[in-house]
Amino acid sequence: MMHRDSWTLRALVLGLGLLWSLPAAALNVGLGPPPPSVDRRTPQAAVQGFLAAAHRGDYTLAAHYLDLDYIPRAQQAERGVKLARALKFVLDRKLPVNVGALSTAPEGDPANERYDQLGTIPLQGNNVPIRVQRVPSEGGLVWVFNESTMRQVDPLFAEYGPRLVGFLPAFFFNDTVLGLEPWQWLGLLVMVLGSLGLSVLLERLVLALARRVARWTRFTWEDDVVSSGKGPVKLLTFSALLAVGTLLLRLPRPAQGFFMRVAYSLSVVALAWAVLRILHVSVAFVQSRVSSEMKDATRARSVSTQLVVLRAIFEVATYVIAAALLLIQFEVVRNVGVSLLASAGIAGLVLGLAAQKSIGTLLAGIQLSITQPISIGDTLITEGEYGTVEKITLTYVVLRTWDQRRLVIPIVQFLDKPFQNWSKGNPEMLGPVILQVDYQTDIDALRAELRRILENEGKAMWDGRVASVVVMDVLDRTLTVRALVSVSDFSTLFDLRALVREKLVAFLRAHPLWLPVTRTEARPFPPPELESAQLSASPDAPPRPPRA
C-alpha cells in the first residue's frame, strides 16, 4: 500500500512539472501575433499604447491591448476592432485617463498586484470599473483591459455613444482625423452652418418681438436699445447653439472642452458688445433730452460732460471685466497670473510704480467728471491759449483754439495748475481797452466819445452796465488811459473791445494834439557873471575854481 502511494505521488509531481514546462497559451489567438510595436509590459505602457493607436484610428492594433479570449477566435478580429473603437469613445467622453498616474512597474501597483484601475463610469445606477489586468500570454505575462471591463463596453457604448448616425456608411466610423471620426467632422460642419442660419432667424424673431413690445411706450430709448441688439443677439444665440450642438455630437473631452471655451468666449464678447451699444444709445438719448429740455446752457454742458466721462468709465470697466472673464477660463494664464502676483513682489512693485501715473490720470479723469471744473463747450484760457473745450476723455482734454487748432492737454493739468474758465458762473464780463495819450488830452471828451460809440456802433454788444474812462498811470511823456466796457455774454467781449479800440484811435487822430509826442526845449547858456552871482548867493555852494 505504501509502495502504491509513493508511485502515485511521483506521477502527480511529474505531471505538474510537465504542465509547468509547457508554454502558456497565446492571448487573442484570433487577432494573430501582436506587432513588435505593441508594448504591454506595464499598466501605463498598455493604456498609453491603446489610446495612441485608437486615436490614430488604428483599431486593429488597439485590439491587441484588450482581453478578447471570451470571444470565439473566429470573431475576435471583427469584434476587437468594434470594441476598441467603442472603448476609446467611452473613455474620451466619460473618463479622462491620467496615464501618468498608472504604474510603470511590470508587477503593477504593489498595493494591488491583480489589476490597475483607471476609474469608474456610471451605468444604470451602478459604477462600472475600468481596469487593466496582468494575464498570461505566450512569452510571459502582459497587461490588457481585462475581461470584465470588455464585457461592459457594449452597454457603455449604447448609453454614451452616438444614436442618430447609424445610417451612415462604415467609412465614417473606421478612421480618425485630428482625434475626431469623420462623422463627427461632418456633424460639426452641419452644426456650425445650421447654428449660423438658426441664429440669424432667432435674432430676427427676438428683435421683432422686442420692437413690438417697445412700441407700447412713448419713449424712443427702448426702440434704440432694440435696434442696437442686432449683432450681439445673433452672436450670443450662435454661442449657445454651438455649445448645445457639440454636446449632442458627443465629442471627446479635449474637443468638447475646446468648443465649450469657444462658445463661452463668444458669449462674453456678445455681452460686452451689447453693454457697449446700450451705453452709447443711452448716453445719446439722455444728451438729446438734456439739450432739448434744459434751458440752462451751462447746466446742459455740465450734464453732457458727466455723461461722456461716465460712459468712458463704464466702457473701460466693460473691457476690463470682459478681458478678465476671457482669461479666467484658461488655467495656465490664471495660475501664471496668480503666481506672479504672489511671488514676484519686486516685479509687482515695479509694475505698480510704472502704472502709478496712468492710474493717477484715470483717477484725475474721474475726479474731473465729479467736481466739474470744466465741461464740454466751456471757454478756457490755459497755457496762454484761448479756446473751447471740444472733447474730454479719462486722460486728456481737447481744446479748440480761436484759430481752429486743436490743443491736447493732459487732464491732470486742470487739477494741478490754475486756468481761466469763462463759462463758469455768470456769463457777464468786463473788458479793458488801454491807450497811451498826451498830457493835453481832454479826458471828459474821451468819456463822451466812448459813450457815443457804445450807444451807436456797439449797441448790439454792450449791455449798458459799465462805460468808464480813467487815467491808470502817469509816465514821463504820456498818460495811460483805460476805457472799461461790459457785456452780458463773454463771447462778444473781444469784438466789442476791438470796436472801441478802433473808434477811440480814430477819435484821437482827429485831435492831433492829443496824440503822444516827444518835446524838446532849447535854452541859452547863462553869462559868467550871472552864473557866479547865483553860486555866491547859495551859502552851501562849494567854491568855484577860476576860469582858465
Q: What is the pLDDT of residue 260?
A: 82
> Do 212 and 339 share a domain, yes or no?
yes
429 HSE (CA, 13 A, CB side): 20
Per the CB < 8 A criterion, the answer to whether 454 and 485 are in contact is yes
Q: Identify the weakest region by mean pLDDT among 108-122, 150-164, 533-547.
A: 533-547
∠ CA 415-418-420, rounded to 5°: 115
Structural domain count of the chain: 4
> Does the pLDDT at position 320 exceed 90?
no
Give me the CATH number covering residue 406.
Answer: 2.30.30.60
Q: Identify the weakest region by mean pLDDT among 6-20, 70-84, 102-116, 263-277.
A: 6-20
Domain membership flag for residue 89: yes
Q: What is the pLDDT of residue 538?
A: 56
> Do 356 and 467 share a domain, yes or no?
no
> Do 42 and 148 share a domain, yes or no?
yes
Which of 360, 380, 413 terminates a domain? The answer is: 360
Which of 360, 388, 403 terminates a domain? The answer is: 360
Measured CA distances, 75 to 33, 60, 151, 208 (Å) = 16, 13, 15, 60
- As a whole number of angstroms, the distance between CA 225 and CA 276 comes to 11
Domain membership flag for residue 521: no
Higher-pLDDT residue of 224 and 177 is: 224
> Is the Cα dihedral 110, 116, 119, 125 positive or negative?
negative
> Does the pLDDT at position 443 exceed 70?
yes
Give me the CATH number covering residue 459.
Answer: 3.30.70.100
Q: What's the grid cell of residue 284?
A: 445719446
* Segment holding 390, helix H or strand E: strand 385-392
DSSP lists the bridge partners of residue 129 as 120
- As a whole number of angstroms, the distance between CA 231 and CA 268 comes to 13
> Do 212 and 325 share a domain, yes or no?
yes
Domain membership flag for residue 290: yes
Q: What is the pLDDT of residue 471?
A: 92
> Do 297 and 353 share a domain, yes or no?
yes
Q: Identify the weakest region by mean pLDDT among 22-31, 408-417, 439-448, 527-536.
A: 527-536
What's the pLDDT band for 280 if we cut at 50, 70, 90? confident
Collect all residues with Cβ–Cβ distance below 8 Å to 261 and sequence separation of at least 6: 329, 330
pLDDT tens digits, one per residue of 208-228: 787 777 677 666 666 677 777
> Do 302 and 190 share a domain, yes or no?
yes
What's the pLDDT band for 1 if we cut at 50, 70, 90? very low
Of 502, 423, 427, 504, the closest CA to residue 465 belongs to: 427
458: helix, strand or coil: coil
Q: What is the pLDDT of residue 305?
A: 67
> Does the pLDDT at position 24 exceed 60?
no
480: helix, strand or coil: strand
> Does the pLDDT at position 355 exceed 60?
no
Average confidence score pLDDT of the chain: 76
Percentage with pLDDT > 90 across the chain: 6
Instruction: List the domain range (segments joined by +) for residue 56.
Output: 29-161
**DSSP classification of residue 24:** P
Per the CB < 8 A criterion, the answer to whether 529 and 520 are in contact is no
- For the purposes of burial, counting CB atoms within 10 Å of the CB of 212, is it exposed (0-12), middle (13-18) or buried (19 or more)? exposed
> Do 88 and 223 share a domain, yes or no?
no
Q: What is the pLDDT of residue 525?
A: 65
Domain membership flag for residue 508: yes
* Range list of H helices, 95-220: 147-151, 153-160, 182-214
> Do 197 and 325 share a domain, yes or no?
yes
Q: What is the pLDDT of residue 171?
A: 47
Per the CB < 8 A criterion, the answer to whether 31 and 108 are in contact is no
> Does the pLDDT at position 258 exceed 60?
yes
- CA Rg, the chain, in Å? 49
> Do 220 and 356 share a domain, yes or no?
yes
> Do 231 and 355 share a domain, yes or no?
yes
Higher-pLDDT residue of 295 and 289 is: 289
pLDDT tens digits, one per residue of 186-196: 667 777 787 78
Domain membership flag for residue 153: yes
Higher-pLDDT residue of 281 and 485 is: 485
> Do 233 and 278 share a domain, yes or no?
yes
Domain membership flag for residue 276: yes
Which of 421, 440, 461 terminates a domain? The answer is: 421
Domain membership flag for residue 207: yes
407: helix, strand or coil: strand
Domain membership flag for residue 544: no
What's the pLDDT band for 253 if we cut at 50, 70, 90? low
> Do 276 and 401 share a domain, yes or no?
no
Buried/exposed 353-373: b ≥16 CB within 10 Å, e otherwise: eeeeeeeebbebbbebbeebe
Pairing mode of beta strands 396-401, 385-392: antiparallel
Measured CA distances, 250 to 80, 93, 121, 160, 238 (Å) = 22, 7, 16, 8, 19
3-state helix, strand, coil in the chain (%, to 5): 55, 15, 30
* Segment holding 152, helix H or strand E: none
